[in-house]
């Protein structure tokens, strides 16, 4: 039975542990080992995760299969001006748990949260070479653009921008 709970700064070590189990496999064929290390440090250090939760207002959730943590995600309104569009910042499922419908259930959970606050859209970025794009399309996201984001260190994120229209 899959269920979700809100996470907080006390869960940073769990989020980091799951990240280290997912990222190397997810990005090994897409990014160089050096870029993976750089991005892990930039986005998943204790300080960075604490900043995302406490300062940026990113809501993290952890997905459990019974009592076992198997996934996490983070999301927030895209900006303070427009609460109609929310942003899915992260969604990761442990390798052995992928393909079981957990990702769809997480997106449904996030969509319900966004709806409670009056949102009607969820936006995300996905690497242009990440096969997860197919998953997002399957659950209703559409490609609305592309962007190259300079993340420092001489690295770019080459992404598709995808949008999901949500409704009750």
From edge to edge, which strands make up the β-sheet containing 142-152?
A: 2-6, 59-65, 68-77, 85-93, 121-127, 155-165, 142-152
Instruction: Bin 8: left if φ > 0, else alpha if -120 < ψ < 50, else beta.
Output: beta
What is the distance between the alpha carbons of residues 42 and 152, in angstroms, rounded to a whole number?
10
pLDDT on residue 76: 94
> Mean pLDDT score of the chain, rounded to an integer?
94
For 52-110, write each residue's pLDDT tens digit.
999 999 999 999 999 999 999 999 998 877 779 999 999 999 999 998 999 999 999 99
Q: Is 82 exposed, middle or buried (0-12, 13-18, 19+ CB in 10 A)?
A: exposed
pTM for the full model?
Answer: 0.93
Q: Select the CATH number that applies to the domain covering 2-122 from these four: 3.40.630.30, 3.60.130.10, 3.40.50.970, 1.10.760.10.
A: 3.40.630.30
For residue 44, report the phi and psi dihedrals to the nearest 5 degrees: -125, 15
For 4-37, write each residue's pLDDT tens digit.
999 999 999 999 999 999 998 889 999 999 999 9
Give the CB-side neighbour count of residue 58, counting CA atoms within 13 A.
Answer: 21
């Amino acid at each position: 039975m899959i269920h979700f709970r809100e996470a907080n700064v006390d869960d940073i070590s769990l989020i980091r542990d799951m990240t280290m189990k997912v990222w190397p496999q997810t990005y090994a064929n897409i990014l160089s080992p050096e870029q993976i290390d750089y991005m892990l440090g930039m986005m998943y250090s204790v300080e960075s995760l604490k900043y995302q939760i406490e300062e940026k207002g990113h809501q993290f959730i952890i997905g459990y299969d019974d009592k076992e943590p198997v996934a996490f995600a983070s999301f927030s309104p895209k900006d303070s001006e427009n609460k109609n569009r929310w942003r899915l910042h992260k969604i990761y499922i442990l390798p052995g748990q992928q393909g079981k419908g957990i990702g769809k259930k997480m997106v449904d959970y996030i969509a319900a949260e966004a709806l409670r606050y009056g949102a009607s859209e969820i936006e995300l970025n996905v690497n242009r070479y990440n096969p997860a794009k197919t998953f997002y399309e399957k659950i209703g996201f559409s490609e609305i653009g592309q962007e190259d984001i300079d993340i420092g260190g001489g690295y770019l994120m080459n992404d598709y921008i995808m949008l999901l229209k949500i409704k009750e």
